[in-house]
Amino acid sequence: MSGRLIAVSNRVAIPRDGQASGGLAVGVLAALKEHGGIWFGWDGKTTDSEPHDARVVDDGNISYATINLNRTEFDAYYNGFSNETLWPLFHFLLGFFKYDRHNFESYLRVNALFARKLKPLLEPTDVIWIHDYHLIPLAAELRRAGVTQPIGFFLHVPFPGYDVLRALPVHEHLLRCLCAYDVVGFHTQRDLRSFQECIAQPGIGGHILSDGRIRAGGRMFRADVFPIGIEVEDCGSLAHAHRDNPEVKLLRDSLMGRRMIIGVDRLDYSKGLPERFHAYERLLQHYPDNRRNVVLLQIAPPTRTGIRTYNEIREELEGIAGRINGRYAQIDWVPVRYLNRGYDRGMLMAMYREARVGLVTPVRDGMNLVAKEYVAAQDPDDPGVLVLSTLAGAAFELEQAVLVNPYDTDGVAAGIQTALEMSLAERRERHSAMIATLQRNDINAWRSRFIEALRHGHEGEQHD
């Protein structure tokens, strides 16, 4: 089977000056360039009127097809059900979980709208690849509209076990929607096992076959693990190319020989930032030789502005950073540099390379590409050390990192100290092993494996 690739995501990331931002955008664009096709999704604009039909912009063999959304509907679909219901639920953070039936109904209507606007653009030989929790019902809507082409789904966040998922009143509806796909992909075996547990519940009645396929909802489909990767060589090249950037040189000079610990995260409660700051404070308490000799640089650009929970996180972090600096700072040393802004990819890679420790400690994460980028950006002759949460998907691959539980304040502090004291020989050995893993599971391997599974799985389905 051959044909165009149709990628669908909540938001379409049209590259600027030919450069994508990394992660999903890099993998999807590479696949679209290889196969030709369409990237379909929301254009980032809202309206008080009826959304328009897809507007298409062509760039070589790739077309970007975007629609706008009704303002009220978008708020309920995106800020409401997607990010106040599914996001905390899928990250096992039920303390932040909220459910509102009105928001769920808007979620379904927006997915139905996506299906209506996408269907006229489809050709019989197309292969459709849908991304992330915003669009779980989309395949079911497309099937209802008569679409028979292969449809795959990749979840970029964790998938919870049944005891967590059943907190959602409409969990069975979403599970049935996932049965409309030909391939459902996850980052880790942990996520896959959770999905299999949920799909086998009596309310769904799914059966896991000996070859790993699933029979449920009157269909046969495949669920499997496809860990997303990065452009490994690109990270190293960018870090090297930007080492003499004026801001990077300013950062290097300002450290005055001190060792830097770096964290780069969206401002989100799943990233474990308050816990991280507390662990760094414990490091200064329990290992006083680090005072005046280390600096924590935490970059946390704002996300989902206007949602109260995220504003509260920002205020909490500012308070903790202020307390640490007030307690420990000296006239020539500030222990925490906390920046609420983003940096371009080249700058970030260069800053990763300057850091002796990369601190990646989410309380739950599907994968976490910062962990992979930090490793890839290092100088192999003098690499830094990754301190990584066991609750991030990346921990399943980067076993040579210093692995910590983000809820264990003393344990994270001890992990940072281990990284700071690690010998050059051990740092090189760990880095070499992790680079080999990253190269084996890079971004191209991720998208190639998924698309191959989707094409093969759909062809196999026709003979069952």
Residue 30's pLDDT is what? 85
Cα gap 29→41, rounded to integer Å: 14
Contact between residue 275 and residue 409 where contact means Cβ atoms under 8 Å apart:
yes
Residue 108's pLDDT is what? 98
Q: Which among 266, 337, 253, 346 is positioned nearest to 303, based on CA atoms?
A: 266
Contact between residue 374 and residue 358 where contact means Cβ atoms under 8 Å apart:
yes
The residues that bridge with 7 in the sheet, in sequence order, are 39, 129
> How big is the CA angle at 46 (ends 41 and 50), to the nearest 5 degrees?
90
Neighbouring residues of 33: CB distance < 8 A, sequence distance ≥ 6: 60, 61, 62
Q: What are phi and psi of 93, to 5 degrees?
A: -110, 75
Question: Which active-site residues does the annotation give?
Answer: 156, 365
Q: Which among 277, 384, 391, 270 is positioned nearest to 335, based on CA atoms?
A: 277
Domain boundaries, the chain: 5-229+443-461, 232-440
Residue 460's pLDDT is what? 47
Q: Would you report the helix, strand and coil content of the chain in percent, each value rounded to 5? A: 50, 20, 30
Cα gap 201→203, rounded to integer Å: 6
Q: Tell me which fold the domain 5-229+443-461 belongs to.
A: Rossmann fold (3.40.50)
Contact between residue 214 and residue 208 where contact means Cβ atoms under 8 Å apart:
yes
The residues that bridge with 37 in the sheet, in sequence order, are 5, 62
Cα gap 28→24, rounded to integer Å: 6
C-alpha separations of 82 from 86, 440, 450 in Å:
5, 33, 24
Cα gap 385→419, rounded to integer Å: 6
Residue 456's pLDDT is what? 83
Neighbouring residues of 194: CB distance < 8 A, sequence distance ≥ 6: 158, 159, 160, 161, 162, 165
5-229+443-461 with 232-440: one CATH topology? yes
Cα gap 384→354, rounded to integer Å: 8
Residue 327's pLDDT is what? 97
pTM of the model: 0.94
Cα gap 229→441, rounded to integer Å: 6
- Three-state DSSP at 65 gives strand
Q: Tell me which fold the domain 232-440 belongs to.
A: Rossmann fold (3.40.50)
Q: Which among 361, 295, 279 is positioned nearest to 328, based on CA atoms?
A: 295
C-alpha separations of 102 from 108, 135, 169, 290 in Å:
10, 17, 13, 52
**Complete edge-to-edge strand list for the sheet that includes strand 213-216:** 55-59, 62-70, 37-47, 5-11, 127-131, 151-154, 183-186, 219-225, 213-216, 207-208
Residue 386's pLDDT is what? 98
In 83-181, alpha helices (H) = 87-90, 101-118, 138-144, 162-165, 171-178
Residue 187's pLDDT is what? 97
For every one of its 464 residues, what pLDDT tens digit does the chain have, with 9 covering 90 and above?
A: 468 999 999 999 777 654 445 567 888 888 899 899 999 999 999 999 989 999 999 999 999 999 999 999 999 999 999 999 999 999 999 999 999 999 999 999 999 999 999 999 999 999 999 999 999 999 999 999 999 999 999 999 999 999 999 999 999 999 999 999 999 999 999 999 999 999 999 999 999 998 889 999 899 999 999 999 999 999 999 999 999 999 999 999 999 999 999 999 999 999 999 999 999 999 999 999 999 999 999 999 887 655 667 788 989 999 999 999 999 999 999 999 999 999 999 999 999 999 999 999 999 999 999 999 999 999 999 999 999 999 999 999 999 999 999 999 999 999 999 999 999 999 999 999 999 999 999 999 999 999 999 998 755 454 44
- What is the maximum span of the chain, computed from C-alpha positions, in angstroms? 74
Cα gap 49→60, rounded to integer Å: 32
